[in-house]
Amino acid sequence: MINKQMEYNTLLQKLKDKFGDSILSADDAADFFTLVVASDIIKQLISFLKDEQNFIFLTDLCGIHYPEQEKELGVIYHLHNLVENKRIRLKTFVTKGNPQVDSIVSIFSGANWMERETFDFYGIDFVGHPNLKRILNVDFMDYHPMRKEYPLEDATRSDKDDRFFGR
Amino acid sequence: MSEKDKKYTVVEAPEGYSAPGFFATTLDKAVGLARKNSLWPLPFATSCCGIEFMATMAAHYDLGRFGAERLSFSPRQADLLMVMGTIAKKMAPVVQQVYEQMAEPRWVIAVGACASSGGVFDTYSVLQGIDKVVPVDVYVPGCPPRPEQIIDGFMKIQELVGNEPLRRRYSPEYKEMLESYGIKIDK
Amino acid sequence: MKTINSEHHLDLTKEDEKVFSTLNLGPTHPATHGIFQNILTMNGETIVGAEQTIGYIHRAFEKIAERRPYYQITTLTDRLNYCSSPINNIGWHLAVEKLLGVETNKRIDYMRIIVMELARIADHLICNSVIGVDSGALTGFVYVFEEREKIYEIYEELCGARLTTNLGRVGGFDRDFSAVAIQKIRDVMKDLPKVLHEFEKLLMRNRIFMDRTINVGAISAERALNYGFTGPNLRAAGVDYDVRIQEPYSSYNDFDFVVPIGQNGDTYDRYCVRQTELWESIKLVNNALENLPEGKFNAEVPAFFMPPKEEVYSKMEPLISHFKMVMGEIDVPEKEIYKAVEGANGELGFYVVADGGRSPYRLHFRRPGFIYYQAFPEMITGAALSDAILTMSSMNVIAGELDA
């Protein structure tokens, strides 16, 4: 336990030395080390983690939407250091008006479809992605369904009788 | 009479008049008898119900006993479209296209809750039942339905096939029904 | 490079005027197990490129999960990799237990290991027999499905359903293994080795099968890691990453089992890795069954565990806890966790952001099939169409897992 704490402290120190203020917060209270970073350095940070800190595996990339925050849309990365068996979580937030994040497809090829899925669900624009179009939903869909303001059911459905559904 | 001497009826004979040397029945019944015991299904398996269909085709439950031994993945050579699994809105045009490519007479069986009515998935991306895009003959409920239920649905299709009048597909009501789904009729 | 036209002296083209044709593979195609589309650009018989379209069975699980209470999300996880639903179910329960900080005793852990390894056996049986079917060998499929039927009977005894099992509860199980269930597991484990030997004799050292699968669809370990491969596909490429060993859960570290690794990452290696994992799973089930300790079959998680109906109707506290549970007045800490289990296809991860309420604020499934299927165009470039079919079936792409 204490060893892990020291390891994470040294890692945090290295990151702070390199990226300074862009590391907005760091947290060890969650199940593993979680960092919130500014969206403009995310690509360099992941590149640094992969090349110099052995986080060679991208486990997951997903989006999230917090409507009450100023920067509503977030992208969450999970990286895994297979050599020393450590995980790390990176979060970065952007505003709805300008949802741009650098794409990390050039670092991890596996991020290709994961970024497309995040774009499909949340509308986050990944700059530099080779083929950013919808992947799971129909191509002509004009909204991003996982955002909190959209309902789960199909709004155009006409055959459901509201009496039976308690509405 | 011991067990071995009992005569086994493989297929029930339709109503008709029989005497030594011949059996007379209506043309509908004869054609229906031939068709219902040699239906060639098109397994349109999309999700979990498809795995239960694989179990139905395997040796334990064996749909081949009912004449459906030859699965056809080409719609031109199939009689029965078995839609098994959830159909998303992205997939709906494909179902309609496959149905259009099938030659008459053709039947459709919706296997599973998702194909019948959308199932558990009342969401923006799931088609709430394939009867929104193609006319369905038999619905088999279940999530997924047991192989016995799928076979029961298949036997109900066989009943429909055996009793179908020969001129049904040329009647104006049938054409009207197809047009209401937006299905193009080949001439 | 000699083209066939130049050999026959046909009055045709210069070297660089090749004609590429487009072939549409899917979404409805007998060899694509599940619905996804590949538009292949072909140079004669050789594939030059592939463009993939998925999403034909997108059912919006992640959006549904934001509405459902934690114990109802199990029914959604069933339908991810539906060939091995119990692994998904138990993985979800482990994730919720990590969120709540619940410890399970050894009996529950061993019971879970038995169920998960049975599901892994069932999934690998389908995958390997379907590789055989796609190369023309239909007999293996029929032999092996009979064993899968017997595993279905075990599931029926444990939870009532065959395929989409919804097995277990947060904190354990809803009932103990009955004597009938244990006898059925023992019988299946006794008969399975014979059937597997027969199946192996059909395919594993079969000259035709080996010619069709060796060096077909190969991927190197570096590319596989870069893509995020996990599971048997990654192990066939040579990397020994198995979540059961790296982050042991559910007392897997009490058992000694081998994690097989391949060399070339081709189709034959994937087949052999899955086959070896089948044997290891049989050993695990036997070990866990022999050493099953005594204990309760569910941990104390009153907020997630429906009390028995007799008590609900007669006593006060069970009635209150039943009411609170259904109405959603339960204490869930506000935190986020990521929990991974070794699914049949690889690392199945659950990223849960909890906000203290009845449903998660955000739930994301890290689906292994979605991630490794991206590498398919790279694996089939330069191969023939029949090789592409075998590569696709050896990767075990399940549509439910692709689209969620």
Looking from the CA of C264 toward its CB, the CA atoms found within 13 Å total 13
Q: Identity (one letter) of the amino acid at B113?
A: A
pLDDT band at C8 (very low <50, low <70, confident <90, very high): very low
In a domain, A11, yes or no: no
pLDDT class for B12, splitting at 50, 70, 90? Answer: confident
| Residue B14, preceding peptide bond in cis (omega within 30° of 0) | no
- Residues in A closer than 8 angstroms to C241, CB to CB, are 82
Which residues in chain B are closer than 8 Å to A117, comparing Cβ atoms?
A: none
Q: Write out the DSSP string of A81-146.
A: ETTTTEEEEEEEEE-SSS-EEE--TTT-TTHHHHHHHHHHHH--EEET-TT-S-SSS-TT--S-TT
Identify the H or E element spanning B48. helix B48-57
Is the CB of C279 inside 8 Å of chain A's CB atoms?
A: no
pLDDT in tens, B52-107: 998 998 889 989 889 888 888 899 999 999 999 999 999 999 999 999 999 889 99
Q: Do C349 and A110 touch (CB under 8 A)?
A: no
Residue C16's pLDDT is: 45
ipTM over 0.90: yes
- Which of A101, A15, A92 minimizes the C-alpha distance to A55? A15
Contact A89 C366 (CB under 8 A): no
Interface mutation vs chain B, best among C54, C59, C130, C166, most B CBs within 10 Å: C59
Mean pLDDT of A42-67: 91
Answer yes or no: do C351 and A62 touch at CB < 8 A.
yes
**Residue of chain A with shortest Cα separation from C338:** A31
Identify the structural domains of chain B with CATH numbers, from first to last. 35-158 (3.40.50.12280)
Residue of B nearest to A138 (CA): B90
* Strand bridging mode B138-140 / B107-111: parallel
Does A2 fall in a domain?
no
pLDDT over 70 at B1, yes or no = no
Q: Is A160 within a domain?
A: no
Domain carrying residue A96:
17-147
- Asked if C351 contacts A76 with a C-beta cutoff of 8 angstroms, the reply is yes
- Band of the pLDDT at C87, cuts 50, 70, 90? very high
- Count of CB pairs separated by less than 8 Å, A with C: 85
Dihedrals φ, ψ of C3, to 5°? -100, 165
- Which of chain C's residues have a Cβ under 8 Å away from the Cβ of A31? 98, 335, 337-338
Cα(A156)–Cα(A160) distance, rounded to whole angstroms?
10
Q: At what angle do helices C139-159 and C106-134 cross, to 10 degrees?
A: 160
Q: What is the pLDDT of residues A130-165, one digit of tens each?
A: 989 899 998 888 899 999 998 888 777 776 766 766
**Cis previous bond, A99, omega within 30:** no
Q: What number is the average pLDDT over the span C196-203?
A: 91
pLDDT at C4 over 60: no
Res. B157: pLDDT tops 80: yes
Cβ–Cβ gap B89/A145 under 8 Å: no
CB contact under 8 A, C370 and A113: yes
**Region for A149 from its dihedrals, namely left if φ exceeds 0, alpha if ψ lies in -120 to 50, beta otherwise:** alpha
Structural domains present in chain C:
4-53 (no CATH), 61-403 (1.10.645.10)
**Within a domain: A68:** yes
Distance from CA of B48 to the nearest CA of A (A): 19
> By the 8 A CB rule, do C344 and C369 touch?
no
Helix H, strand E, coil C: the string for chain C is CCCHHHHCCCCCCCCCCCCCEEEEECCCCCCCCCCCEEEEEEECCEEEEEEEECCCCCCCHHHHHCCCCHHHCHHHHHCCCHHHHHHHHHHHHHHHHHHHCCCCCHHHHHHHHHHHHHHHHHHHHHHHHHHHHHCCCCHHHHHHHHHHHHHHHHHHHHHCCCCCCCCCECCECCCCCCHHHHHHHHHHHHHHHHHHHHHHHHHCCCHHHHHHHCCCCCCCHHHHHHHCCCCHHHHHHCCCCCHHHHCCCCCHHHCCCCCCCCCCCCHHHHHHHHHHHHHHHHHHHHHHHHCCCCCCCECCCCCCCCCCHHHHHHCHHHHHHHHHHHHCCCCCCCCEEEEEEECCCCEEEEEEECCCCCCCCEEEEECHHHHHHHHHHHHHCCCEHHHHHHHHHHCCCCHHHHHC
CB C54 to CB A152 under 8 A? no
Structural domains in chain A (count): 1
- Of the pLDDT bands very low, low, confident and very high (cuts 50, 70, 90), residue C6 is very low
* pLDDT greater than 60 at residue C204: yes
- Closest CA of chain A from C404, distance in Å: 9
| Confidence tier at A57 by pLDDT (50, 70, 90) | very high
Closest Cβ opposite residue C145 in set B59, B123, B124: B59
Nearest CA distance, A42 vs chain C (angstrom): 18
Nearest to B83 by CA among B35, B117, B59: B117
Could you tell me if B128 lies within 8 Å of chain A, comparing CB atoms?
Answer: yes
pLDDT score of A2 more than 60: no
Q: How confident is the model at residue C338 (pLDDT cuts 50, 70, 90)?
A: very high
Query: Averaged over C267-271, what is the pLDDT?
Result: 94
**What residue in A sits closest to C367 (Cα-Cα)?**
A60
0.90 cut: is pTM over it?
yes
Nearest-neighbour CA in chain A from C98: distance (Å): 9
Q: Name the interface residues of A facing B (CB cutoff 8 Å).
A: 136-138, 145, 150-155, 157, 159
CA distance C371 to chain A (A): 6
What Rg do the C-alpha atoms of chain B give, in angstroms?
A: 18
Does some domain include residue A130?
A: yes
In which band, very low, low, confident or very high, does the pLDDT at C9 lie, cut at 50, 70 and 90? very low
Which residue in the set B89, B90, B124 is minimally distant from A152, CB to CB? Answer: B124
- CA distances from residue C42 to B79, C14, C25, C111 in whole angstroms, order as listed: 32, 18, 12, 50
Distance of residue C64 Cα from the nearest chain B Cα, in angstroms: 8
Residue from A59, A161, B71 nearest C226 by CA: A59
Within a domain: residue A65?
Answer: yes
Question: Closest partner residue to B90 among C55, C141, C164, by Cβ?
Answer: C55
Does a structural domain hold residue A101? yes
Q: What pLDDT, in 10s, does the model give residues C270-329?
A: 999 999 999 999 999 999 999 999 988 888 777 777 788 888 899 998 888 888 888 777
Mean of all residue pLDDT scores within chain C:
88
Cβ contacts from A onto B, under 8 A: 23
Residues of C with CB below 8 A from B121's CB?
Answer: 59-60, 64
Q: Is the pLDDT reported for residue C1 higher than 50?
A: no
CATH number for the domain harbouring residue A28: 3.30.460.80
What integer pLDDT is reported at residue C262 of this predicted model? 92
Q: Is residue A161 one of the residues assigned to a domain?
A: no
